[in-house]
């Protein structure tokens, strides 16, 4: 990726991370300390703790902290609104000093993407909603808000069917003025139609993604969730991965949606 002239960078190292900085060592130390805390928490939340021997020595994740927003944009070519970015294949996270929300939101979010992809790889048919849901779930302070908003989707009968979410590549939704139509079903089991603008579709998709991940982890535990992800990594279909990881609870994609809806109804 990067990032700046190598000679400009100073290094701070911990067991799993190397933070590169050009100034403000206090902020860089905060980043390093928080990174280790998030590493342990995310691995435990996702059931990956027993596999967490990665990211040591030469495999440590590199975090680049630019001195300001302008130098970050210049080095990375990101759009002006960007506060940070991650490269999952090279295991780098890049931001700038005192980036808004970096320590509490962007850092755990991108780190969860890295941990998840290190575990499941890039070859299996891992749904986009699962990857994005894992990253959002890592932003622990937002979980109460996520649950409240997900409950509203359920109460208002504005849930996108999971079968549609699986087929939808949300990264290709760029026209915010276009109306997207999806069939759905109400709390009472009746059929219905959703008409969603592009921005609303994106918001609902991401909210449902993190809600589904939270449901699986909270209802059946982190170890079963890790097993579910491992099955996907090993090439199982989504339905087969669910049946193997949750044999007593979820035997199909349709049953996952049914159980998740029941979970929302109890929030």
pLDDT digits (tens, 9 = 90+) for 93-148: 999 888 878 899 999 999 999 999 888 887 777 899 999 999 999 999 999 999 99
Is pLDDT at 7 greater than 80 in this prediction?
Answer: no
Strand partners, 247: none
* Helices 143-155/198-220 angle, 10° precision: 110
Q: Nearest to residue 4, comparing CAs of 55, 70, 59?
A: 70
- Rounded Cα–Cα distance for residues 122 and 54 (Å): 17
Query: Is the model more confident about 175 or about 1?
Result: 175
Query: Is the model more confident about 17 or about 58?
Result: 17
Report residue 53's pLDDT band, with 50, 70 and 90 as the boundaries.
low
- Rounded Cα–Cα distance for residues 248 and 94 (Å): 42
User: What 3-state DSSP class applies to 267?
Assistant: coil
Give me the pLDDT at residue 263, please: 95
Report residue 161's pLDDT band, with 50, 70 and 90 as the boundaries.
very high
Read off the pLDDT of residues 54-72 as tens digits, 9 standing for 90 and up: 787 788 999 999 989 999 9
- Rounded Cα–Cα distance for residues 111 and 128 (Å): 16
Spatial contact of 19 and 11, defined as CB atoms under 8 Å apart = yes
Report residue 3's pLDDT band, with 50, 70 and 90 as the boundaries.
low
Is pLDDT at 17 greater than 90 in this prediction?
Answer: yes
Q: Does domain 6-120 have CATH number 3.40.30.160?
A: yes
Q: Which residues contact 185 (CB under 8 A, 6 or more apart)?
A: 161, 191, 192
Q: Per the structure block, which two tokens stand in for 260? A: 């998740």
- Rounded Cα–Cα distance for residues 55 and 77 (Å): 27
Share of the chain above pLDDT 70, in %: 96
- Rounded Cα–Cα distance for residues 191 and 230 (Å): 35
Average per-residue pLDDT for the chain: 89
Q: What's the half-sphere exposure (Cβ side, CA atoms, 13 Å) at 182?
A: 24
Delimit the domains of the chain by residue range. 6-120, 128-265
Report residue 83's pLDDT band, with 50, 70 and 90 as the boundaries.
confident
Q: Per the structure block, which two tokens stand in for 240? A: 């087969």
Please tell me the least confidently modeled range out of 102-116, 149-163, 176-190, 243-257.
176-190
- Rounded Cα–Cα distance for residues 198 and 179 (Å): 6
Read off the pLDDT of residues 183-205 as tens digits, 9 standing for 90 and up: 888 888 788 888 888 889 999 99
Give the Cβ contact number of residue 115 at 10 Å.
25
Give the Cβ contact number of residue 100 at 10 Å.
12
- Rounded Cα–Cα distance for residues 172 and 113 (Å): 19
Give the Cβ contact number of residue 169 at 10 Å.
7
């Amino acid at each position: 990726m990067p990032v700046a002239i190598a000679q400009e960078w100073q290094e701070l190292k911990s067991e799993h991370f190397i933070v590169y900085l050009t100034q403000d060592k206090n902020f860089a130390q905060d980043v390093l300390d928080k990174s280790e805390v998030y590493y342990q928490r995310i691995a435990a939340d996702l059931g990956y703790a027993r596999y967490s021997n990665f990211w040591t020595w030469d495999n440590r994740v590199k975090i680049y902290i630019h001195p300001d927003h302008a130098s970050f944009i210049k080095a990375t070519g990101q759009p002006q609104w960007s506060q940070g970015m991650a490269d999952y294949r090279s295991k780098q996270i890049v931001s700038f000093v005192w980036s808004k929300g970096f320590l509490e939101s962007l850092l755990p979010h991108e780190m969860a993407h890295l941990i998840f992809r290190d575990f499941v790889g890039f070859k299996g048919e891992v749904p986009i909603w699962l990857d994005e849901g894992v990253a959002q779930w890592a932003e622990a302070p937002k979980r109460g808000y996520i649950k409240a908003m997900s409950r509203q989707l359920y109460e208002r009968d504005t849930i996108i069917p999971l079968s549609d979410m699986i087929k939808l590549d949300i990264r290709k939704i760029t026209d915010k003025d276009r109306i997207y139509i999806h069939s759905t079903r109400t709390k009472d089991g009746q059929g219905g139609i959703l008409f969603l603008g592009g921005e609303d579709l994106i918001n609902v998709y991401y909210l449902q993604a993190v809600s589904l991940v939270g449901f699986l982890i909270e209802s059946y535990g982190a170890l079963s969730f890790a097993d579910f992800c491992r099955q996907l990594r090993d090439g199982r279909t989504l339905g087969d991965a669910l049946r193997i990881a949750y044999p007593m609870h979820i035997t199909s994609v349709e049953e996952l949606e049914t159980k998740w809806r029941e979970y929302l109804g109890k929030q």
